[in-house]
Amino acid sequence: MDVSPVTASSYAARIAVDGGNFYRSAINAGTSATSTAATADTVSISAAAWAAFGASSGNAASSANSAVDARLAEIKSKGAVNRSSEDTEYLLTHDKKLAEIVAQGKSSDQLTSSELDYMQKAGGFVNTMAYFNPAEKALYDKAVANGNTQAASGLALIALTRTGGHMAGGANGATYDPINTPITAANVEKYFRHSIVDPTGDAAAKFQALIQFLRDNPTTV
**Cβ contact 139:155 at 8 Å:** yes
Distance of CA 33 to the CA centre of its chain: 33
Q: What is the pLDDT of residue 17?
A: 31
Round to whole Å and give the CA distance between 98 and 217.
31
Q: What is the pLDDT of residue 59?
A: 57
Judged by DSSP in three states, 168 sits in: strand
**Cβ contact 34:134 at 8 Å:** no
**Cβ contact 144:109 at 8 Å:** yes
Cα dihedral value 153, 20, 121, 201, nearest 10: -20
Q: What is the pLDDT of residue 5?
A: 36
Round to whole Å and give the CA distance between 106 and 112.
10
Confidence of residue 218 (pLDDT cuts 50, 70, 90): confident
Residue 47 or 2, more confident: 47
Q: Give the mean pLDDT of 155-182.
A: 94
**Cβ contact 154:210 at 8 Å:** yes
Residue-range domain boundaries for the chain = 8-36+48-106, 126-221
| Range scoring the smallest mean pLDDT among 29-33, 89-93, 100-104 | 29-33
Using a cut of 0.75, tell me whether the model's pTM lies above it.
no
